[in-house]
Structure 1
Amino acid sequence: MPGLLTGFVAVLRRDLMLGWKRPGDVLNPLFFFAVVSTLFPLAIGPDLEQLRAIGPGVVWVAAMLAAMLSLNALFSADHEDGSLEQLLLSAQPLPLMVLAKTCAHWLLSGLPLVIVSPLIGLSFDMSAASLIAMPVTLLLGTISLSLIGAVGAALTVGLNRGTALLSLLVLPLAMPVLIFGARSSALAAAGDGYAAGAYFLGAYCMLSVTLAPFAAAAALRISNE
């Protein structure tokens, strides 16, 4: 266990340091999320009832698209510089290394979206309950998106124009997250209970944590044969 933990922390720390040295990779999804979300109130106008109705769906769609912007870079840089081959040859379990890289990706791209989401919700005049539900559901949803995206990124690593294929692979699996996340936020805005949707997102997140690292590791081995 100490050796496994050391390998996990080393990969996580390496990817976090590389991410901070490339601030554009961290800020681009955040700027995309903020710009897309705030354009809708400007286009629709000052109708508060309409803004409250569409707010949860708009924020969730923008967050999902922003999270997908950086998925293609999850393994591509390692593939180009040869680090991915070293991971494949490492004595450490590959699923654990994939999980570490996915955690780093979420900390750099998913967590900022969760933190900023209440501020974006204010532009839609969301209620206090909805502003609480939004980051809670996005927390669970973005973790699932990063894990699902890791499988798609592993399948398309090294392919020319792999971004379009990655979107086709990830979007169908991300639809349940989008549907239940947006619906839970909408229920919270209406003053209804949203626990059922949060439970589903939590279960989907746990299923992703359990299966996605193994699927991504197998995809990486297939892609590098």
Structure 2
Amino acid sequence: MSTGTNPENMQKVSALALFMATMRREFLLSFRRKSDLANPLIFFLMVATLFPLGVSPEPGFLAQLAPGVVWVAALLATLLSMDALFRSDYEDGSLEQLLLSPQPLFVAVLAKVSAHWCMTGLALTVMAPLLAVMLFLPAEGMPGLMLSLLLGTPTLSLVGAIGAALTVGLKKGGVLISLLVLPLYIPVLIFGSSAVQAAVTGLPLGGYLALLGALLALALALAPLAIAAALRISISS
């Protein structure tokens, strides 16, 4: 019976340990910086509160616009928080240490994006029914809203992290992040709001959810590698 340790198993355990440790660190940092945690949620709530004042408080009109308004608010709230994703690590030097680590960089990157989604995308999804009620979205659209946000917001975080990685070395990268990633957000926005509209009108929404799931699978497969490469480019330049 062999007592040797399989290097492949050690690498798998190390990668899992790195993922869990990075997520734990990101959660701790997020709870210490409560303003960064609350700002996207406050922005999300403000959009739904101010929108009826800027257009019309008529319930029927707001019900028609509610799917698009909630999705645009979620998209912009996610984008608002992307600039800080790697900024603090870059400023305190821990990002350079992460790049020099022998562990796969994409594992740590995926952990950071996962923690970011839990703090923003998941929180926005939980808040979405409240905003939908404020905008008079029919109850039939609630399942489509929740499911589309659960599938779409992780893609927003993954794609937005690519822009954050490319601009991490710049002093003011927020506007540049928007210019880089907003065109890539458009398919998620279209399919997400269309899924809610289909649920409201009683049409099948499985096709829209399947498209959102396909976009998420593609982002999970490619975005961590792209983020890791973008970080190396930004740090070395």
Q: By the TM > 0.5 criterion, same fold?
A: yes
Match in the other structure for 2:214: 203
Match in the other structure for 2:187: 176
Write the mapping of 1:66-85 to structure 2, written as runs, cut at 5 A: 66-85=77-96
Are the counterparts in 2 of residues 149 and 170 from structure 1 also a CA contact under 8 Å?
yes
Write the mapping of 1:91-170 to structure 2, written as runs, cut at 5 A: 91-170=102-181
Structure 1 stretch displaced more, 41-50 or 187-196: 41-50
Q: Does the residue aligned with 1:187 lie in a helix, a strand or coil?
A: helix
> AA paired with 2:124?
L
Match in the other structure for 2:3: none
**Aligned-residue offset at 1:44:** 3.5
Match in the other structure for 1:62: 73
Of residues 25, 36, 42 in structure 2, which corresponds to 1:25?
36
> AA paired with 2:210?
Y
Q: Which of the two has higher C-alpha Rg?
A: 2
> AA paired with 1:29?
P
> Displaced runs of 4+ in structure 1, greater than 3 A?
42-46
CA RMSD in angstroms, aligned pairs only: 1.0
Instruction: Provide structure 2 residue ranges, at least 5 long, that are not aligned to the other structure.
Output: 1-11
TM-score of the superposed pair, with normalisation by structure 1: 0.97
Are residue 2 (structure 1) and residue 20 (structure 2) matched? no
Q: Does the residue aligned with 2:86 lie in a helix, a strand or coil?
A: helix
Are the counterparts in 2 of residues 41 and 123 from structure 1 also a CA contact under 8 Å?
no
Are the counterparts in 1 of residues 40 and 78 from structure 2 also a CA contact under 8 Å?
yes
**1:10-51 per-position Cα deviation (integer Å, ceiling 9, x unaligned):** 011001100011111111000000110122223334422211
Of residues 60, 67, 87 in structure 2, which corresponds to 1:49?
60
- In the alignment, the residues of structure 1 paired with residue 31 and residue 157 of structure 2 have an alpha-carbon distance, to the nearest angstrom, of 18
Q: Does the residue aligned with 1:91 lie in a helix, a strand or coil?
A: coil
* Seq. identity, %: 51
Are the counterparts in 2 of residues 59 and 121 from structure 1 also a CA contact under 8 Å?
yes
**Aligned-residue offset at 1:139:** 1.1
- In the alignment, the residues of structure 1 paired with residue 113 and residue 144 of structure 2 have an alpha-carbon distance, to the nearest angstrom, of 24
Instruction: Provide structure 1 residue ranges, at least 5 long, that are not aligned to the other structure.
Output: none
> AA paired with 1:40?
F
Number of aligned residue pairs: give it.
Answer: 225
- In the alignment, the residues of structure 1 paired with residue 184 and residue 204 of structure 2 have an alpha-carbon distance, to the nearest angstrom, of 25
